[in-house]
Amino acid sequence: GAGVSQSPRYKVAKRGQDVALRCDPISGHVSLFWYQQALGQGPEFLTYFQNEAQLDKSGLPSDRFFAERPEGSVSTLKIQRTQQEDSAVYLCASSLNRLPIKTQYFGPGTRLLVL
């Protein structure tokens, strides 16, 4: 009965380091989204998975960003060679059904700070 969980909750990285952010969606949820939320802004879409298939990655800001969901459950967002502008909260959301859907359930987010 747990909700969406994300780890780590906080991450401090030095510029140039690689980071991996994990999302555990609600069990059985088909759809999984990643969003980036900068301070004072709304969440910005990064990518969408339907089961293990990445159907939309149009929001990934550069080729340093990579996401996967190999078994259709847990997902990882990887950022290579982090830059200061990558500092943000990274939110994962899941939904029972495929798009279009009514309700997304968000995880608590990972706060990434790149120094």
Partner 1 sequence: RKEVEQDPGPFNVPEGATVAFNCTYSNSASQSFFWYRQDCRKEPKLLMSVYSSGNEDGRFTAQLNRASQYISLLIRDSKLSDSATYLCVVLWPPSGTYKYIFGTGTRLKVLA
Residues that bind partner 1 (CB under 8 A): 33, 35, 40-45, 48, 55-56, 58-59, 91, 99-100, 102-104, 106-109
Q: Which is nearer to partner 1, 55 or 115 (CB)?
A: 55
- From the CB of 70, what's the least distance to partner 1, in Å? 20
Residue among 81, 88, 84 nearest 59 (CA) = 88
Q: In angstroms, what is the minimal distance from the CB of 37 to partner 1?
A: 8
Closer Cβ to partner 1, 50 or 73, answer by number: 50
List all residues 6 or more positions away from 111 whose beta carbon is below 8 Å from its beta carbon.
Answer: 9, 10, 11, 89
Minimum CB distance to partner 1 smaller for 14 or for 102: 102
Instruction: Report in angstroms how near the CB of residue 16 gets to partner 1 at its nearest.
Output: 27
Integer Cα distance of 108 and 92 in angstroms? 8
Query: b/e per residue, 78-95, with b = 16+ CB within 10 A?
Result: ebeebeeebbbbbbbbbb
